[in-house]
């Protein structure tokens, strides 16, 4: 099928005119979403802001857990010698994506992360929830209420997940199963917000199996849900993957950017059974004239181009938050750091769009670090 994909005139990098159109549309949706007007972006204020490490206690421990699209993470966060530290870090592949209810999901999560959870105590709970949700203030911190009560992104189904704030649901399970204190401070936020918090910056980005961007505005750090941006020009491969997905018509930008969808596009175009984005990376390592290499090139360039334009536009849109000449941006994601040439291409497009120099930061366990810092700030 390889030659067929080249018959689609839209399967290519965006033109300068398309770049400009995407940037203008994204700026419009950023501002409209922030005002609560019609927008493809949810634009949810996190109700959190960066904290100074020097003002945080050194003798307290935060249980940090991350619910991602493909993996679960757990660990213990502390401040040691003035630096953030994640101990007993555990990463578990989420083997199931369909659950009969919230209890079924929480039982799976706590069982998989049991080595981190059992026989220990914590002074706070920090939860990274890598899905769309509304931040809510609580008596003990900040939590997130899922926007969807059953079907989340990335093919995950958890009926009832939106019945209560996610952190509260998890703490109830931890209290019942492992006897954690019921009145622990709980801080929950989106994974991209946590990445921004990890470096104390005004922007954070994730480019992995999914895609998102968080940016500081007049309303504080906001989760933009930029994977849902719907004004990127389409090509037939992306449209096919969208039609066959569990969320047709949703996450349209993400479906041209993120690894979960690029791998499927590459598999369709090349007739491969391997739908992982890692396969694209493997092909790109060896420069040649094959159809597979050319397809991989286009998918990589188009993805990095879109991400760079969105990053650059966010910086321009909220320019008062970026007075510096060099903007430092923590980025998390195996696609961003693992795909050969990807980070450099994204940097070029972001600099072209923003007119600023861009410095991408790779912070180990950035999500857990960010949520650990935020949760520790609520410990008395």
Query: CA–CA separation, 348 vs 91, rounded Å?
Result: 32
> What pLDDT is attached to residue 2?
55
In this prediction the pTM is 0.92
> What pLDDT is attached to residue 119?
83
Query: What's the CATH fold of domain 2-44+198-363?
Result: Hexokinase; domain 1 (3.40.367)
Whether residue 171 contacts residue 122, with contact meaning beta carbons closer than 8 Å, is answered with no
Which helix (H) or strand (E) segment holds residue 64: the answer is: strand 62-67
206 HSE (CA, 13 A, CB side): 28
pLDDT mean values, one per 10 residues, the chain (380 residues): 82 97 98 96 94 90 92 94 87 93 96 92 94 92 93 87 96 96 96 95 94 95 95 95 90 94 95 91 92 96 98 98 97 96 98 98 94 95
Determine the 3-state secondary structure of 278 from DSSP.
helix
Query: CA–CA separation, 367 vs 73, rounded Å?
Result: 10
The structural domains of the chain, with segments of one domain joined by +, span: 2-44+198-363, 53-193+367-376
Query: CA–CA separation, 364 vs 178, rounded Å?
Result: 28
Please tell me what DSSP assigns to residue 152: -
Which helix (H) or strand (E) segment holds residue 233: the answer is: none
> What pLDDT is attached to residue 4?
86
Query: CA–CA separation, 14 vs 20, rounded Å?
Result: 10
Compute the residue count for the chain: 380
Q: According to CATH, what is the number of the domain 53-193+367-376? A: 3.30.420.40
For 232-270, the pLDDT digits (tens) are 999 999 999 999 988 899 899 999 999 999 999 999 999
């Amino acid at each position: 099928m390889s030659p067929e994909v080249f018959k689609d005139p839209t399967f290519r990098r965006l033109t300068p005119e398309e770049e400009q159109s995407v940037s203008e549309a994204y700026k419009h949706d950023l501002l409209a979403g922030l005002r609560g007007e019609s927008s493809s972006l949810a634009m949810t204020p996190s109700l959190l802001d960066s904290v100074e490490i020097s003002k945080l206690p050194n003798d307290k421990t935060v249980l940090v857990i991350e619910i991602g699209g493909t993996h679960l993470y757990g660990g213990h966060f502390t401040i040691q010698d003035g630096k953030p530290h994640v101990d007993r870090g555990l990463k578990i592949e989420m083997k199931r994506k369909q659950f009969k209810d919230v209890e079924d999901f929480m039982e799976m999560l706590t069982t998989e992360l049991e080595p981190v959870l059992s026989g220990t105590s914590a002074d706070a709970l920090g939860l990274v929830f890598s899905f769309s949700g509304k931040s809510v203030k609580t008596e003990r911190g900040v939590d997130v209420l899922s926007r969807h009560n059953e079907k989340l992104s990335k093919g995950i189904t958890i009926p009832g997940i939106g019945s209560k704030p996610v952190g509260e649901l998890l703490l109830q399970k931890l209290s019942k199963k492992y006897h954690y204190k019921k009145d622990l401070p709980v801080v929950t936020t989106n994974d991209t917000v946590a990445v921004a918090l990890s470096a104390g910056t005004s922007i954070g980005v994730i480019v992995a199996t999914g895609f998102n961007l968080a940016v500081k505005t007049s309303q504080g750090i906001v989760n933009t849900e930029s994977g849902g941006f719907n004004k990127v020009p389409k090509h037939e491969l992306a449209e096919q993957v969208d039609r066959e997905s569990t969320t047709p018509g949703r996450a349209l930008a993400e479906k041209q950017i993120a690894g979960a969808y690029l791998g499927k596009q590459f598999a369709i175009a090349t007739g491969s059974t391997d739908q992982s984005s890692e396969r694209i990376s493997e092909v790109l390592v060896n420069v040649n004239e094959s159809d597979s290499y050319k397809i991989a090139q286009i998918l990589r360039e188009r993805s990095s181009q879109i991400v760079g334009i969105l990053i650059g536009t966010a910086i321009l849109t909220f320019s008062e938050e970026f007075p510096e000449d060099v903007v430092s941006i923590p980025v998390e994601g195996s696609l961003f750091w693992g795909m050969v040439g990807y980070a450099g291409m994204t940097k070029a497009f972001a600099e072209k769009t923003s007119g600023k120099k861009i410095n991408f930061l790779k912070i180990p366990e950035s999500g857990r670090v960010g949520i650990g810092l935020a949760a520790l700030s609520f410990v008395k």
